[in-house]
Structure 1
């Protein structure tokens, strides 16, 4: 699948630029082309990992909520994967950019620990962890909203890159938690090992996060162990048995309460008025039809 283009300085679900080195945003200083190359490499690795992690999710007439969507770098990609996409983001400026990228999606104002939607409103929920202190409440909200499954992405401070960053007195591109903390929080919600799978990318130190590095392949393809700096847990919650396409459409419409959701007051639904019958026909890269 051809992945939608995104700004070189962005990373999914951050609401702004990731930070490399001693806190300098990549791509903002023309004298640091290495920062731009690193950010592009990271974004490509994240797209690759999500494409693989979400491949097991059926997406025909399936609605997905992208939580902490940031400026919407992932929305055209998720739409291209076949999902009906909506999103939640706390920052107003980021919501405006996300809407410009995917005009047909409903971009809602809200935090990950208080999502402005009803129980079981979406088939799938993709949560980008922004505040490790809210890990438990954010996962509980994702579990409440998701009918069939959820996935959570996070920066792993116990990765090799995280260890090297601490030794160098720098930091990973986003707020970091650990693979063990995410797994423990999922188990406390009753989501055990039989219903979860985890993958990660960027297994090598940060100074190898570029295509020219001899370890570039390790950063992209060493995904099975929880060693990477950026990881994802994918969880199945049940539901969504075998039904006909007609039943899928009718069931999705009744189950998600489209009329009620589209009629929500501001600012819960700030952008987007998507009809049920058309799947994001204008949500290609940069908001254009692919």
Structure 2
């Protein structure tokens, strides 16, 4: 069910809170680390389930040519306000993308599979329209945050997580393998502790940003390279002998 204006406003407001900003910063650092070897210049990236455009804007700042798609017009309205004309936005669902095969170099699915009717089909569709790779960000069902803050609340009507499905790392691996076969994967996670540790005090901040195995932290991400190995940023080509 696409989010309405009231839900979209609550989602946007959450990202303005100190906790929301802290979490977004930790997630951003993990994603940036995972895509660090991908080429950027003239590389098209489709952000599936782009929502209000927080991650779309990050990918744009990192140098990708970004497009976005989301089932919620309310969320896309906020993405347009954030991004202006720098990104092409469309209404659509992850399981049926209105794009040609291999239309994009890369595709991202950041905390969108949790809300899909068929997450495995969404991964397969993302692979269909991507030539080089995918990055999937997901919420870890085995994390301390899920066990202490989400499991008992996500059935509530007013919860932003109402109707969502969190995944374990092993479930995510099985979905990826079933959707596209075995590929080269790199997966890490952040935010390992309970929510009271998610603070900007130096020791807590450092612990929350550690790149841990994907089954530990609350937010995990996996990079899937579709070309038989990790995509690499080309080395600089010298036209003349470099001077010492």
Give the TM bin, normalised by the shorter chain: 0.7 to 0.9
**Partner residue in 2 for 1:63:** 44
Number of residue pairs aligned between Structure 1 and Structure 2: 217
**Partner residue in 2 for 1:185:** 175
**Partner residue in 2 for 1:282:** none
**Partner residue in 1 for 2:79:** 98
For 1:12-91, list aligned pairs within 5 A: 17-18=10-11, 26=14, 36-91=17-72
**Partner residue in 2 for 1:219:** 208
1:111 aligns with 2:111: no
RMSD: 2.9
Return closer, same or farther for 1:49/1:117 CA change in 2, 3 Å cut-off.
same
Conservation of the 8 A alpha-carbon contact between 2:127 and 2:180: no
Q: Distance in 2 between matches of 1:61 and 1:220?
A: 30
Conservation of the 8 A alpha-carbon contact between 2:94 and 2:116: no
Gaps of 5+ in 1: 1-13, 20-24, 29-35, 244-290
TM-score (norm 2): 0.78
Q: Distance in 2 between matches of 1:148 and 1:91?
A: 27
For 1:118-267, list aligned pairs within 5 A: 118-128=100-110, 129=112, 130-131=114-115, 133-165=117-149, 169-170=152-153, 174=161, 175=164, 176-192=166-182, 195-212=184-201, 214-238=203-227
Return closer, same or farther for 1:55/1:232 CA change in 2, 3 Å cut-off.
same
Quote the offset at 1:101 in angstroms. 1.9
Return closer, same or farther for 1:234/1:15 CA change in 2, 3 Å cut-off.
farther
SS in 2 for 1:69: coil
Quote the offset at 1:188 in angstroms. 1.1
**Partner residue in 1 for 2:239:** none
Q: Distance in 2 between matches of 1:241 and 1:179?
A: 25
**Partner residue in 1 for 2:3:** none
Conservation of the 8 A alpha-carbon contact between 1:16 and 1:70: no
Q: Distance in 1 between matches of 2:71 and 2:170?
A: 27
SS in 2 for 1:200: strand
Quote the offset at 1:213 in angstroms. 7.9
TM-score (norm 1): 0.67
Quote the offset at 1:93 in angstroms. 1.6
Conservation of the 8 A alpha-carbon contact between 1:191 and 1:235: no
SS in 2 for 1:227: coil
Return closer, same or farther for 1:219/1:17 CA change in 2, 3 Å cut-off.
farther
Quote the offset at 1:56 in angstroms. 1.9
For 1:69-94, what per-residue CA distance to the aligned partner results, in whole angstroms no more than 9, with x for missing partners?
11111222211211111000111121
